[in-house]
């Protein structure tokens, strides 16, 4: 999304939101009720037009995810023992090692899944939450951004899967053994926290303009 | 119908208080942060202690990979490999686990374990695949933690914390010892040798060795080390044997040790063991040669000390009690001007002299002062018969001129010495052998042979052979006629004569001529002058004997014959008288003092010879036995040459006996005369056989003449 796009979006005609139309949608089943309805008449879940507390949860989970992302990068992801020789590799170290061996493709995938995606997610979630906090009305592209973040979140687990599978398979005693490091746990937690963070976000907030602006 | 009004919207003011509004979810990042920080702190705290080890090269050491091991357990990792400021050494930084860091004090040692293939085996094989690692060794008592260490190139023999004792050996030749050579005790490996190094003055090779506990408890001053390197070939009476201790010691060399006597004194610090060439050399050296143990004395000699050198023994009554440490000449001022004398420095082991173990040197000197007063003297003596090596002998002489232990300031006390009788012995022994050499043995033999020849001639004499025939005829003629007692008495007379002859022969035998010759031949002797005289008498005697027999016997026979031929005509009494007188003369001849004395004289001479030999043997020590033996050999040669004649002599004797027997047999078969004569002749035959055996024995081993059997 380009700056121009964002600028255009802000200048564009504001969309009519359900809230502006005096309605509230059920987050579970999608049934629309008039504002003020407490519970969904269809599925019985609680109806909230805008969940303002969600933003706190987003920030909390995002922060937790970022905290555990640090050890995930500092500590070794894999401990490989080959012929009695033990080597430990961190995520970034592993990427460079792969590049030294000429496996640029694999290096790129690892780098993309382990570094680019998590970091982009942090940035995207923080950006969206920041916008909502500042009361800036969002556009369709912001909503797309949120959808992409939510979708791609699970794929960040590729690394963790790889480590889990390698640790389970490569137990060849003296010849080669692979053990997961602390970073593997940290990374898994980081991805999980980020996903919870993304899930906590109420996308409807994107559309809202601050009360003052609306009047 | 009223319009339904929308329900009242409940609008609540947003809660502004941030604390009230705070979600529980914030606990999650807080916990995550706490856990992360906790892990980080724990990692930092567990990081371990950094130590620095310097090596001359860091072959195979890789930062981050190479590990530090203690008893083959990883206790640290190399963090950095760098150079010292002057590029002289490689510094390896190792992060050591805190668990063990407290034990790594000044004594800790580090070395790099690499794969090694040697005669003793293959070690460090695991490092072929995994790369080298640094092995550390330290004791199990915590000490002040040190930061910088000097790594060794090879595993140290005395690793800290490994019980045992480090010792030093001194040897002349370091070629047979190499790093790691085993130290064996009764064939069991109990220690290892380090690389030999030269002593500061370059004269000896010093080797450090490490003896593992509990075997180090066996080490004391009685311990002797010897080299078991390589193999030993020996070829002796027991056959051919190859001897080597172990394959490893064959290739890398090795030493063995054992205690040569019981209850050795404990080792002082800095004690250096001597490495002997072989076990026998080590065992021979039971004397403590450490300067701390011996008490020094000096001895001044006026005679030549050729053959004496440092290291030679000092004995007391045959027991080794000390060693010659130094030998030097020295100018002594006398009234007649400066005189050169020889000063031997010796070191006496007081314990070997029987003094208590805690005796001080002063006690030892006291003891010697007393001993010298009671006649203790030092003198030179030969170490063995077969070489000219000398030793110093401490002897107690009752007749020694009085002397005292001279105690000179700044010098060891001086023991009085007496002249040795080495040179006398040599001269005497040589003189004796020369005189033996000069003995007219051959002459004696020749005389004996000619005597025998004379006997033989006598036996072959036709007149004599005719005697039986005539005598028988005479007797036959007279038997019928003669019945008188005088005639009867003739056989008795003859019998007496024969008895005399038998006695003579028995004397010859019993008188020990043969036995004496035998023993005399075994034991040569010094009183050869007597023998010489006796021998010179013997020829004269035998000459007389021969003359006597040659002149008298035929005359006798002739007379006998005359008697026989005239018997018929003669008066019976006259015949009897004549026969009796003839027989008396035979008797007198046989019983002649000269004849009887011959064996006695020979016997005496031989006995003296034997005595002289015994004395010579007891005299014992001879300096130049080699030269002497040469003389002896010459003498033996002469004797052997002479002896070669003996068989001839014997053969003649036998022939003579055989002829005599045939002659005598013709006298008649059953007469007493015949029996007696035959017995006498058998005696002679036996004697001849004995001479023959002796001759053969001497012929086989002429040397037995010299050495005795």
Q: Least CA distance to B127: which residue of chain A?
A: A84
CB contacts, 8 Å: B35 with chain A: 68
| Pairwise CB contact (< 8 Å): B26 & A60 | yes
Contact criterion met (CB below 8 Å) for B258 and B223 = yes
Please classify residue B102 by burial: count the beta carbons closer than 10 Å to its beta carbon, then call 0-12 exposed, 13-18 middle and 19+ buried.
Answer: middle
DSSP symbols for B275-328: EESSHHHHHH--S---TTT-EEEEEEESS--TT--TT-EEEETTEEEEEEEEEE
Q: Least CA distance to B33: which residue of chain A?
A: A67
Contact criterion met (CB below 8 Å) for B93 and B52 = yes
Question: Could you give the angle at the alpha carbon of A74 between the alpha carbons of A71 and A75, nearest 5°?
Answer: 80
Is position A153 within any domain? yes
> Could you count the other beta carbons within 10 Å of the beta carbon of residue B664?
19
Same domain, A128 and A210: yes
Check residue B291 and give its pLDDT. Answer: 41
Q: Distance between CA atoms of B413 and B345, rounded to whole angstroms? A: 10
CB contacts, 8 Å: B25 with chain A: 56-57, 60-61, 200
| Pairwise CB contact (< 8 Å): B9 & A35 | yes
Contact criterion met (CB below 8 Å) for B44 and A70 = no
| Pairwise CB contact (< 8 Å): A64 & B39 | no
Condensed to tens digits (0 to 9), the pLDDT of residues A68-105 reads 888 888 888 888 887 767 778 888 888 888 888 888 88
State the DSSP code for A153.
G
Q: How many CB pairs under 8 A join A and B?
A: 59
Choose among B25, B31, B126: nearest Cβ to A57.
Answer: B25
Is position A7 within any domain? no
Q: Least CA distance to B10: which residue of chain A?
A: A36
Tell me the residue range of the domain where A26 lies: 15-49
Check residue A135 and give its pLDDT. Answer: 74
Check residue B172 and give its pLDDT. Answer: 77
Q: Please report how many Cα atoms fall inside a 13 Å half-sphere around the Cα of residue B481, on the Cβ side.
A: 15
Is the ipTM higher than 0.85? The answer is no
Closest-CA distance of chain A to residue B163, Å: 31
| Pairwise CB contact (< 8 Å): B129 & A86 | no
CB contacts, 8 Å: B7 with chain A: 36
Same domain, A31 and A57: no
Condensed to tens digits (0 to 9), the pLDDT of residues B436-484 reads 777 777 777 788 788 878 777 776 766 666 655 655 665 566 555 545 5
Contact criterion met (CB below 8 Å) for B404 and B373 = yes
Q: Distance between CA atoms of B404 and B414, rounded to whole angstroms? A: 9
Q: Least CA distance to B38: which residue of chain A?
A: A71
Interface of chain B against chain A, CB under 8 Å?
6-7, 9-10, 14, 21-23, 25-26, 28-29, 31-33, 35-36, 39-40, 65, 126, 129-131
Nearest to B517 by CA among B545, B544, B538: B538
Q: Structural domain tally of chain A? A: 2
Same domain, A131 and A180: yes
Closest-CA distance of chain A to residue B114, Å: 15
User: What does the H/E/C string look like for B550-595?
Assistant: HHHHHHHHHHHHHHHHHHCCCCHHHHHHHHHHHHHHHHHHHCCHHH
State the DSSP code for A171.
B
Q: Please report how many Cα atoms fall inside a 13 Å half-sphere around the Cα of residue B352, on the Cβ side.
A: 24
Q: Where are the alpha helices (DSSP H) in B114-229?
A: 127-130
Residue ranges for chain B with pLDDT beneath 70: 1-21, 118-121, 157-161, 229-253, 284-293, 357, 383-388, 421-430, 459, 461-654, 656-678, 680-681, 684-685, 687-688, 691-692, 694-709
Check residue B426 and give its pLDDT. Answer: 60
Listed by start position, the domains of chain B span: 49-150, 164-284, 295-420, 427-707
| Pairwise CB contact (< 8 Å): A84 & B26 | no
Closest-CA distance of chain B to residue A99, Å: 21
Choose among A57, A84, A85: nearest Cβ to B23.
Answer: A57
Residue ranges for chain A with pLDDT beneath 70: 1-16, 18, 20-21, 49-52, 84, 208-215
Report the Cα–Cα distance between both ends of chain A, in Å, rounded: 29
Check residue B191 and give its pLDDT. Answer: 85
Alpha carbon of B379 to those of B351, B397, B421, B422: distances in Å?
21, 11, 9, 10
| Pairwise CB contact (< 8 Å): A64 & B32 | yes
| Pairwise CB contact (< 8 Å): A64 & B10 | no
| Pairwise CB contact (< 8 Å): A85 & B131 | yes
Same domain, A127 and A32: no
Choose among B36, B65, B126: nearest Cβ to A87.
Answer: B65
Nearest to B706 by CA among B508, B437, B457: B437
Looking at chain A from residue 20 to 79, which residues have their Cβ under 8 Å from any Cβ of chain B?
A: 34-36, 52-53, 56-57, 60-61, 63-64, 67-68, 70-71, 75
Same domain, A200 and A127: yes
Is position A8 within any domain? no
β-bridge pairing B272-276 and B164-171: parallel
| Pairwise CB contact (< 8 Å): B10 & A200 | no
Q: Looking at the complex, does the CB of residue A176 fall below 8 Å from at least one CB of chain B?
A: no
State the DSSP code for A115.
I
Contact criterion met (CB below 8 Å) for B191 and B213 = no
Q: Looking at the complex, does the CB of residue A189 fall below 8 Å from at least one CB of chain B?
A: yes
Tokens 């200048």 belong to: A11
């Amino acid at each position: 999304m380009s700056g121009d796009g964002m600028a255009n979006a802000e200048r564009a005609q504001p969309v009519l939101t359900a809230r502006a139309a005096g309605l509230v949608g059920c987050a579970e089943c999608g049934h629309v009720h008039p504002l003020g309805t407490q519970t969904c008449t269809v599925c019985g879940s609680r109806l909230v037009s805008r969940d303002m507390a969600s933003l706190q949860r987003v920030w909390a989970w995002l922060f937790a995810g970022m905290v555990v992302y640090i050890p995930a990068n500092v500590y070794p992801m894999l401990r490989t023992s080959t012929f009695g020789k033990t080597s430990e590799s961190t995520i970034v170290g592993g990427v460079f090692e792969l590049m030294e061996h000429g496996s640029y493709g694999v290096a790129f995938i690892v780098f993309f899944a382990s570094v680019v995606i998590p970091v982009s997610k942090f940035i995207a979630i923080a950006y969206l939450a920041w916008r909502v906090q500042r009361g800036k009305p969002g556009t369709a592209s912001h909503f797309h951004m949120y959808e992409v973040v939510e979708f791609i979140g699970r794929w960040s687990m590729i690394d963790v899967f790889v480590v889990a599978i390698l640790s389970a398979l490569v137990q060849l005693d003296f010849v080669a053994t692979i053990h997961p490091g602390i970073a593997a746990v940290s990374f898994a937690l980081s991805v999980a926290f980020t996903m919870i963070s993304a899930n906590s976000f109420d996308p409807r907030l994107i559309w809202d303009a601050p009360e003052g602006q609306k009047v | 119908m009223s319009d339904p009004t929308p329900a009242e919207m409940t609008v609540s003011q947003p809660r502004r208080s941030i604390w009230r509004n705070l979600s529980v979810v914030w606990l999650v990042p807080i916990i995550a942060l706490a856990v992360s920080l906790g892990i980080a702190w724990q990692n930092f705290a567990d990081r371990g202690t950094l130590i620095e080890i310097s090596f001359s090269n860091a072959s195979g050491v890789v930062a981050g990979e190479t590990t530090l091991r203690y008893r083959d357990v990883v206790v640290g990792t190399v963090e950095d490999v760098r150079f010292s400021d002057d590029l002289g050494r490689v510094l390896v930084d190792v992060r050591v686990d805190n668990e063990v860091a407290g034990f790594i004090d000044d004594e800790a040692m580090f070395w790099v374990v690499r794969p090694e293939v040697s005669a003793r085996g293959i070690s460090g094989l695991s490092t072929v695949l995994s790369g080298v690692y640094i092995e550390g060794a330290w004791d199990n008592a915590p000490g002040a933690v040190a930061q910088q260490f000097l790594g060794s190139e090879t595993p140290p023999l005395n690793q800290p914390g490994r019980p045992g004792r480090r010792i030093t050996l001194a040897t002349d030749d370091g070629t047979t010892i190499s790093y790691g050579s085993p130290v064996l005790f009764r064939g069991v490996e109990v220690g290892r040798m380090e690389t030999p190094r030269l002593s500061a003055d370059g004269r000896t090779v010093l080797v450090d060795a490490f003896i593992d506990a509990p075997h180090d408890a066996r080490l004391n001053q009685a311990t002797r080390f010897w080299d078991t390197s390589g193999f030993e070939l020996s070829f002796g009476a027991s056959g051919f044997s190859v001897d080597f201790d172990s394959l490893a010691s064959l290739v890398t060399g090795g030493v063995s040790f054992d205690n040569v006597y019981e209850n050795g004194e404990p080792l002082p610090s800095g004690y250096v063991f001597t490495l002997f060439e072989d076990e026998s050399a080590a065992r021979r050296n039971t004397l403590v040669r450490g300067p701390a143990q011996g008490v020094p004395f000096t001895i001044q000699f006026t005679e030549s000390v050729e053959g004496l050198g440092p290291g030679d023994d000092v004995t007391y009554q045959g027991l080794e009690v000390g060693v010659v440490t130094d030998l030097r000449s020295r100018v002594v001022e006398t009234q007649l001007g400066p005189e050169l004398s020889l000063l031997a420095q010796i070191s006496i082991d007081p314990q070997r002299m029987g003094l208590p173990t805690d005796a001080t040197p002063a006690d030892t000197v006291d003891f010697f002062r007393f001993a010298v007063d009671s006649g203790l003297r030092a003198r030179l003596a030969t170490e063995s018969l077969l070489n000219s090596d000398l030793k110093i002998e401490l002897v107690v002489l009752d007749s020694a001129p009085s002397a005292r232990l001279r105690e000179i300031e700044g010098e060891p006390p001086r023991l009085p010495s007496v002249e040795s009788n080495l040179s006398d012995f040599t001269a005497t022994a040589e003189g004796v052998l020369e005189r033996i050499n000069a003995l007219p043995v051959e002459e004696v033999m020749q005389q004996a042979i000619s005597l025998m020849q004379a006997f033989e001639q006598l036996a072959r004499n036709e007149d004599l052979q005719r005697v039986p025939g005539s005598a028988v005829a005479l007797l036959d003629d007279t038997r019928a006629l003669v019945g008188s007692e005088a005639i009867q008495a003739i056989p008795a007379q003859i019998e007496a004569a024969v008895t005399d002859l038998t006695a003579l022969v028995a004397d010859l035998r019993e008188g020990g001529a043969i036995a004496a010759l035998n023993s005399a031949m075994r034991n040569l002797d010094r009183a050869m002058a007597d023998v010489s005289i006796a021998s010179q008498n013997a020829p004269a005697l035998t000459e007389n004997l021969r003359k006597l027999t040659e002149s008298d016997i035929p005359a006798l026979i002739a007379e006998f014959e005359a008697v026989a031929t005239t018997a018929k005509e003669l008066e019976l009494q006259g015949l009897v008288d004549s026969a009796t007188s003839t027989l008396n003369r035979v008797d007198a001849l046989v019983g002649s003092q000269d004849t009887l004395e011959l064996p006695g004289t020979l016997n005496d001479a031989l006995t003296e010879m034997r005595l002289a030999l015994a004395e010579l043997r007891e005299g014992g020590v001879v300096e130049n036995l080699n030269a002497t033996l040469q003389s002896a050999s010459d003498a033996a040669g002469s004797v052997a040459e002479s002896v070669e004649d003996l068989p001839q002599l014997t053969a003649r004797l036998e022939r003579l006996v055989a002829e005599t027997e045939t002659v005598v047999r013709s006298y008649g078969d059953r007469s007493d005369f015949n029996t007696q004569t035959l017995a006498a002749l058998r005696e002679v035959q036996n004697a001849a056989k004995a001479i023959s055996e002796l001759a053969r024995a001497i012929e086989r081993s002429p040397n037995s003449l010299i050495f005795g059997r």
